Amino acid sequence: MKEYCNPIDIPYKWQHYGVAHREAADPTLVLFKGTYYLFASMSAGFYYSDDLVSWKWHENRDLDMYRYAPDVRQIGDYLYFCASTRKDPSTIWRSKDPLKDDFEKVSEPFAFWDPDLFCDDDGRVYFYWGCGNREPIWGIELDKETMMPIGEKVACFDHGEDVHGWERFNFPGVEQDLEDKNKGLLKLFMKFMNRKGRPYMEGSFMNKWNGKYYLQYAAPGTQFSVYGDGCYVSDKPLGPFKFMPNTPFSLKPSGFITGAGHGSTIDDKDGNIVHVSTMRISVNQNFERRLGLFPAGLDEDGLLFCNQNFADYPIVLPEGKYDSRQLKPQYFLLSYKKHAKASSCLPGHPVELATDENIRTWWAAENTKGWYELDLGDVYRPHSVQINFAENEVPELDVDKKLRSDIMTSMRYIDSSAKLKTRFTLEGSVDGKEWFMIEDRSKSDDDRSHPYIILNEKYELRYLKVSALELPYNEVFALSGLRVFGKGKGEVPAEVKNIRVSRQESGMDALISFDKAEGAFGYNIRFGIAPDKLYTSYQAYEKNEVLLTTLNKGQRYYFVVDSFNENGICEGNQICEIAA
């Protein structure tokens, strides 16, 4: 079994433009010569893994790896790499062994943003790109040897915000979606980006399965909770393309961390489809982002989908081939709104903000060292713990103003002056008096902000304590989530009754409400285009009324609501339908 928890546990890189923040986004995942490689924006390097769970970091400051939206694809014996530029011709590189840093320049075809290379079964190579609110997703054929264009570019498809609810910038509730301490800056950014009244469409990625071409794209913008990935399908690599009706196939608008857009999709070593995409924090800076990995698949009708039910709970993947539709959470949240205390608290950052299931809020201590203690309220044998460190007003590096104005070319924004470390201990206790060590990272050389620690029910405990020993840039100790998973001692909640769904005048929104279920602290709304295709979900804590804003106009939808608590899920049986 392979197990992980989103956001995935990798050393996210620090950025020093605007407000200092960690970032990884716009990921491209590739399986190359038996190894998985993961490239993300603004990282000056890449991650690699044998199993999609344990990732190692490889730095490379000599290529275009400190740019946005890197793309990597295998063509023949080479791994091809390119990334985004607007002013100068962008470069395509290749290597037979990326860990040796022996990339060679292949071509400089033209300036592009959000690139995607694709090699067809017949060896012909195609290239897709596009990022903006005034242009479509483009495609063109490239000469396989020279990697230069053949023929004219083709507009594969354009914006659909008038009929696709999830593509809109101005969806209902957007002001609340952006509300945080930087909401003024976010609103200004939104106004600037939305100057033509259109959302952003970006992040193309092509797959081919069963003779069909699946061209994926992201919308409406990385700073929104509804940031997701959609898809158009064709019989030919350059179209014409037809909208896939269950779009967006990747969407995570709720839960501990939101967003599931601008990603890539691959077949793993066992032939399973997995999708990796961008998850959003966007508090300290718009581009404060993380990565999520989701099991995916193709159904009998050729529809691409992701299983994103409880997608920030532990995900356990069987060895070998599996049907991702059958995967269900095995461990549940034992820490939700449980009592806590801490060594100190900064004003506005009380202890309860580390157990409220919101990565965009956090508890913060008054200094860089301290402790946070959680009381689960009873003795359990937890399965795992996810510790989510937050950045609370980290000071910027003193970066030259000229370099600050040209973040696309400067490598100095990722600090190489010191080895950054996140050092901590995790202890457990039955009575809150005598403590034992669970995880000792007091000598760790890693800077990991989302460590996921599997306990395998080894310890009986009621209390957990995280103590910070060393943090990057001497930032204050802050936690956006101390999340404990396992199996509770009680009963699953009652079944949800009296579901009511009404489509709103826009045709792209639906209001869903239902009676509260006894014993539930949350609800998972599953919906889709057929009773057996409920591929999209919305996870609501305590709320029993939700406005869904991601529907496609003219499409019939079906809804089911499950209830859940720390003991498990009670799946709903009532299916509600709304007409097209």
Instruction: Give residue 273's pLDDT band: very low, low, confident or very high (50, 70, 90).
Output: very high
Q: What is the pTM of this model?
A: 0.95
Instruction: Give residue 175's pLDDT band: very low, low, confident or very high (50, 70, 90).
Output: low
The whole-number pLDDT of residue 414 equals 55
With residue 547 as reference, give the H or E element that holds it.
strand 545-548
The whole-number pLDDT of residue 402 equals 47
pLDDT higher than 50, residue 410: no
Same fold, 18-299+307-313 and 500-578: no
CA 6 – CA 279 distance, rounded (Å): 9
Least confident of 254-258, 288-292, 340-344, 395-399: 395-399
Lookup: tokens for 224: 């929104």
The whole-number pLDDT of residue 403 equals 47
The whole-number pLDDT of residue 248 equals 98
The CATH code that applies to domain 500-578 is 2.60.40.10
CB 53 within 8 A of CB 47: no
The whole-number pLDDT of residue 28 equals 98
For 152, counting Cβ atoms within 10 Å of its Cβ (0-12 exposed, 13-18 middle, 19+ buried), the class is exposed
Instruction: Give residue 409's pLDDT band: very low, low, confident or very high (50, 70, 90).
Output: very low
CA 64 – CA 113 distance, rounded (Å): 13
CB 486 within 8 A of CB 381: yes
The whole-number pLDDT of residue 179 equals 59
pLDDT higher than 60, residue 122: yes
CB 558 within 8 A of CB 575: yes
* Half-sphere exposure for 298 (CA within 13 Å, toward CB): 19
- 466-514 per-position pLDDT tens digit: 999 999 988 999 999 999 999 999 999 999 999 999 999 999 999 999 9
The whole-number pLDDT of residue 285 equals 85
Q: Which DSSP letter does residue 42 get? A: T
Q: Which DSSP letter does residue 285 get? A: S
Owner of token pair 């952006």: 178
pLDDT higher than 70, residue 196: no
The whole-number pLDDT of residue 233 equals 98
Q: Which amino acid, one-letter code, is at 539?
A: Q
CA 227 – CA 157 distance, rounded (Å): 19
- Sequence-ordered alpha helix ranges (H) in 131-195: 174-177, 183-193
pLDDT higher than 70, residue 397: no
Question: b or e along 508-527 (b: 16 or more beta carbons within 10 Å of the residue's beta carbon)?
Answer: bbbebebeebeebbbbbbbb
* Half-sphere exposure for 81 (CA within 13 Å, toward CB): 31
Specify the CATH number for 332-486; select among 2.60.120.260, 1.10.540.10, 3.40.225.10, 2.30.30.140. Answer: 2.60.120.260
Which fold does the domain 18-299+307-313 belong to in CATH? Tachylectin-2; Chain A (2.115.10)
pLDDT higher than 70, residue 540: yes
pLDDT higher than 80, residue 185: no
Cite the beta strand spans of 393-509 per DSSP E: 423-429, 435-440, 452-454, 461-470, 478-486, 500-503
pLDDT higher than 90, residue 359: yes
Average pLDDT over residues 294-304: 98
CB 508 within 8 A of CB 168: yes
Lookup: tokens for 548: 């869904």
The whole-number pLDDT of residue 184 equals 55
- Sequence-ordered alpha helix ranges (H) in 311-413: 401-404
Give 394 or 105, the one with higher predicted confidence.
Answer: 105
pLDDT higher than 90, residue 432: yes
Phi and psi, residue 45, nearest 5°? 155, -165
Query: Domain locations in the chain?
Result: 18-299+307-313, 332-486, 500-578
Least confident of 142-156, 312-326, 407-421: 407-421
CA 363 – CA 388 distance, rounded (Å): 11
Question: b or e along 445-459 (b: 16 or more beta carbons within 10 Å of the residue's beta carbon)?
Answer: ebbbbbbbebbeeee
Q: What is the 3-state secondary structure (H, E, C) of 250-290?
A: ECCCCCCCEEEEEEEEEECCCCCEEEEEEEECCCCCCCCEE
Percent of the chain with pLDDT over 90: 83
The whole-number pLDDT of residue 307 equals 98
